């Protein structure tokens, strides 16, 4: 998979791309991630990409020309263009899975007061990571890139994410490691029993219990096998 990220602040991605699972996925050829400063697509000598809004109002608006020129330069028949936007579909694990089906993602990071509305004509999907406002789309772009990359075959062990929270509309079950007894807080006996059928049953029951307590809204879409 190839992911191209259009941003005004490419240095924000330095640490993100050079650590942990993302770095390993890049080095192993599982994903190609390019961070592109779309100022270079500006036709103005000073690289300007924003201007005041028609009709007045606070803040600056991203101009359509540099963003659209960047999209057109990068786009292929295999591309899906994503706009990070608080008005978009709220991101979830199902969307992340759906995005892995595409060979090429182009993620546009917004900034300032917003986008020139005409940019939307060149976008396939708008994504929000929650009902709050950030200073720019770089953090949402990282969240999307991270969540998609970990689902690519060979990046991590499939068993590590098949029962993650939200994968089956349930939250994840509680996990423990050594020591078995810490200050009187003991690991449930079933987990040290070696009875894998009982362990599986325990974990599923804990998923349902935890979801009822913390995210009962998810149970509306949960269907037990």
Is the domain covering 2-149 a CATH 3.40.1280.10 domain? yes
| pLDDT (0 to 100) of residue 45 | 86
Domain ranges of the chain: 2-149, 163-221
| pLDDT (0 to 100) of residue 114 | 86
* Residue 16: CB atoms within 10 Å: 19
Nearest to 112 by CA among 4, 3, 7: 7
Does residue 107 register a pLDDT over 90? yes
- pLDDT above 70 as % of the chain: 95
The residues that are catalytic are: 86, 113, 150, 164
Fold of 163-221: 1.10.1270
pLDDT digits (tens, 9 = 90+) for 13-35: 999 999 999 999 999 999 999 99
Residue 218's pLDDT band (cuts 50, 70, 90): confident
- As a whole number, mean pLDDT of residues 36-53 equals 94
Buried/exposed 189-209: b ≥16 CB within 10 Å, e otherwise: eebeeeeeeebeebbbebbbe
Per the prediction, the chain carries an average pLDDT of 92
pLDDT digits (tens, 9 = 90+) for 70-80: 999 999 999 99
- pLDDT above 90 as % of the chain: 83
Buried/exposed 129-150: b ≥16 CB within 10 Å, e otherwise: beeeeeebbbebbbbbbebbbb
């Amino acid at each position: 998979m190839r992911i191209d990220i259009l941003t005004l602040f490419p240095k924000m991605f330095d640490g993100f791309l050079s650590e942990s699972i993302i770095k390993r996925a890049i080095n192993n050829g599982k994903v190609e991630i390019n961070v592109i400063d779309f100022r270079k697509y500006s036709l103005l000598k000073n690289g300007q990409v924003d201007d005041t809004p028609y009709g007045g109002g606070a803040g600056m608006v991203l101009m359509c020309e540099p963003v659209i020129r960047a999209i057109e330069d990068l786009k292929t028949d295999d591309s899906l263009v994503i706009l990070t936007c608080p008005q978009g579909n709220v991101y979830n694990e199902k969307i992340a899975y759906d995005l892995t089906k595409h060979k090429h993602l182009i993620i546009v990071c917004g900034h300032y007061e917003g986008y020139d509305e005409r940019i939307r004509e060149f976008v396939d999907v708008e994504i929000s990571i929650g009902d709050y406002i950030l200073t720019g789309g770089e953090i949402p772009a990282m969240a999307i890139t991270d969540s998609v990359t970990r689902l690519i075959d060979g990046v991590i062990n499939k068993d590590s994410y098949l029962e993650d929270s939200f994968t089956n509309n349930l939250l994840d079950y509680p996990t423990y490691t050594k020591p078995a007894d810490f200050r009187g807080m003991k690991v449930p006996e079933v987990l040290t029993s070696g009875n894998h059928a009982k362990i599986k049953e325990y974990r599923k029951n804990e998923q349902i219990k935890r979801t009822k307590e913390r995210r009962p809204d998810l149970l509306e879409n949960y269907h037990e096998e």
